[in-house]
Chain A
């Protein structure tokens, strides 16, 4: 492009010069050649010089590069010139510190999450180790949790079934599925809060991607859920309710639920590493959410208007519904799928930004 411009310029000059005598011509050409030589380095840096610095560089460096860049925007010789070229203006839009920082942090967060997922064998091993620790020196191991959960479901089922006067065939499977899933969700969130704090010794020793610790919590709880889910077919047997093929829909539902829990745990673990009194707040919020969500009570018992507030506006209800409804042989409403999907998308965007911005500080907070 520069060659072209140079050529056109020379053409214009030569046409104008045709009228002058030879000696003046020679002098002028000499001047022009000289001028070209001087400006051999373009007065503006080309855009390629401003590729974002490597993602693991400090914030400091990013800012200082930006400062240098600002300096370069004025001419090298300090004089004003023709307006900057097209290429520069494009980079200018993206080349502000906020964008640069965001871009860097997103790259860093994505890289960390990708490496964490690639090290699934480590996640699997750590999660298994946690579960196996409960088996050691105990004959039933994690099934203790299952037994207590089973007893609780039985008791609540009997009492509330009587109070609400609901048919057992409908209420008991509903309660069982709800309680089992709720215990999965709430422990995932609660243990997610402390996942980074608990892994402090590893974080301070080995450069393992931090998302591994979040995945470990989720994996451990998934394994425990696999223990607890045993109750559900037993309840179905007890009330003699068949399990249809549509129950398979709960598998994609569960995947979406886990996707949502992952971003929630990621954000919470970060906040809890910084503010240590947060887990208590989260625990009370979860307690409230438990009563607001139809787990112990059937949604059909709600009087008209209340349903809109307690069901449609409750994100936890939708998250629960995408897994529970297929298990109970019901259809999942499109609204539930959309809310869960939207939450996953929106939540992950926020989580990646926050994680990227503060990832490098986590080791300092612990």
Chain B
């Protein structure tokens, strides 16, 4: 009886908690394979010669990109990542999106993740705009029927008009980005991962894009965004993590962290 109750409790809990991320001492180490370590020949010779070169093997350069990260994110968290170049922001974003697995420690991510780090990924310049909408949409995890449903809306939003049936290589770079933006922002993931705020197009389009981005962020339960902009962090985030040399230097509310980070 008790066990049934527990099961019910867990069941109901799972429904209410939509997304959550838990990091426990997560580390990311990049082994640096130079050309010689990467070849099978060298490896075989190393095996054959035994201890002599294996000291070299042991001394292989390892770059520790992230070290002992422990934090948890829950529903409603809008997290900004601050840090200088090389502080490990992008690596953390990749860890969060599930591309990398931690080399030590645990990172458990529950919820549907979408990463908008590079919105033009998967766009084939030779294919038409319409084909690319499908291509990009499926890459982001939408189904064909989903995309077909939203196709008109995407085309209308991108303001590409008749160009939609032309190959993407004929587009200007602005049009290219508009298309990528329009498709990428139709998804509604539970966890959204971004590198800087997406902003595309001319003055008129910018406002539309801004509204659409806000709508997308509203719909997600966890947002993680890496940024260098103080205003962005203060406006969108309710929690900021400051990374330095792969470690968390500060994890607090935006005002406190930005004051410490930007120094005023």
Chain B residues closer than 8 Å to A61, beta-carbon distance: 24, 105-106
Q: Mark A115-130, 1 if CB is under 8 A from B, else 0.
A: 0000001100100010
Q: A58-B104, A276-B38 are in contact. Are A125 and B97 (CB under 8 A)?
A: no
> At the interface, yes or no: B84 with Cβ under 8 Å from chain A?
no
Q: How distant is B255 from chain A, measured CB to nearest CB, in Å?
A: 32
The answer to whether B135 touches A129, judged by C-beta atoms less than 8 angstroms apart, is: yes
Query: Is A207 an interface residue, CB under 8 A from the partner?
Result: yes
* Contact across chains for B38 and A275 when beta carbons are under 8 A apart: yes
- Closest-CB distance, A117 to chain B (whole angstroms): 15
Given A60-B104, A364-B100, residue A202 in contact with residue B43 (CB < 8 A): no
A203 pairs with B30, CB closer than 8 A: no
Given contacts A58-B105, A277-B39, is CB(A125)–CB(B134) below 8 Å?
yes
B99 touches A203 (CB 8 A): yes
User: Interface-forming stretch among B117-125, B157-165, B202-210, B221-229?
Assistant: B117-125
Is B113 in contact with chain A by the CB < 8 A criterion? yes
Asked if B101 contacts A360 (CB within 8 A), the reply is: yes
B99 & A204 in contact (Cβ 8 Å cutoff): yes
Cβ-based interface call for B80 (8 A): no
Residues on the A chain within 8 Å of B127, using CB = 129, 132
Query: What sequence of 0s and 1s flags, for each residue 54-73 of chain B, a beta carbon within 8 Å of any chain A beta carbon?
Result: 00000000000000000000
- B residues 115-145 touching A (CB-CB < 8 Å): 115, 117-118, 121-122, 124, 126-127, 134-135, 138-140, 143-144
CB < 8 Å A-B pair total? 88
Which of A212-257 touch B at CB < 8 Å? none
| Count of B interface residues, CB-CB < 8 Å | 39
CB under 8 Å from chain B, chain A span 56-70: 56-61
**A202 pairs with B105, CB closer than 8 A:** no
A207 surroundings in chain B (CB, below 8 A): 97-99, 113, 115
Which of B102, B117, B127 has the largest count of A CB atoms less than 10 A from its CB? Answer: B102
B106 touches A58 (CB 8 A): yes
* In the complex, per-residue mask of A93-132: 1 if CB is within 8 Å of any chain B CB, else 0: 0000000000000000000000000000110010001001
A203's nearest neighbour on chain B, judged by CB, is B99
Chain A residue numbers with a CB within 8 Å of B41 are 277
Q: A residues within 8 A CB of B106? A: 57-58, 60-61
- Decide yes or no whether B252 CB sits under 8 A from chain A: no
Shortest A24–chain B CB gap in Å is 38
Q: Does B247 contact A (CB under 8 A)?
A: no
B74 at the interface (CB under 8 A from A): no
Whether B108 sits at the interface, judged by CB under 8 Å, is yes
Number of interface residues of A (CB under 8 A): 33
Q: Which residues of B contact A54 (CB under 8 A)?
A: 108
- Give complex CA distance A203, B115 in Å: 12
Partner of A121, one of B117, B124, B144: B144
Tell me the complex Cα distance, A346–B143, Å: 34
Question: Which A residues touch B30, using CB under 8 A?
Answer: 364
A357 CB to closest chain B CB, in angstroms?
Answer: 12
Instruction: Tell me, rounded to whole Å, the shortest Cβ–Cβ distance linking A139 to chain B.
Output: 15
Say yes or no: is A19 at the interface (Cβ < 8 Å to chain B): no
Question: Are the C-beta atoms of A363 and B126 separated by less than 8 Å?
Answer: no
Contact B117 A281 (CB under 8 A): no
Contact among B94, B108, B113 with A56 in the assembled complex (CB-CB below 8 Å): B108
Taking the closest CB of chain A, its distance from the CB of B121, in whole angstroms, is 5
14 pairs of residues in contact across A and B, judged by CB atoms under 8 Å: A57-B106, A58-B106, A60-B102, A60-B103, A60-B105, A121-B144, A133-B124, A205-B97, A205-B117, A207-B97, A207-B115, A275-B40, A276-B39, A364-B30
Top 3 closest pairs, chain A to chain B, by CB: A207-B98, A360-B101, A60-B104
Kindly list 6 other residue pairs between chains A and B, CB separation below 8 angstroms, not including A61-B24, A277-B38. Answer: A56-B108, A61-B105, A129-B124, A203-B99, A205-B99, A206-B115
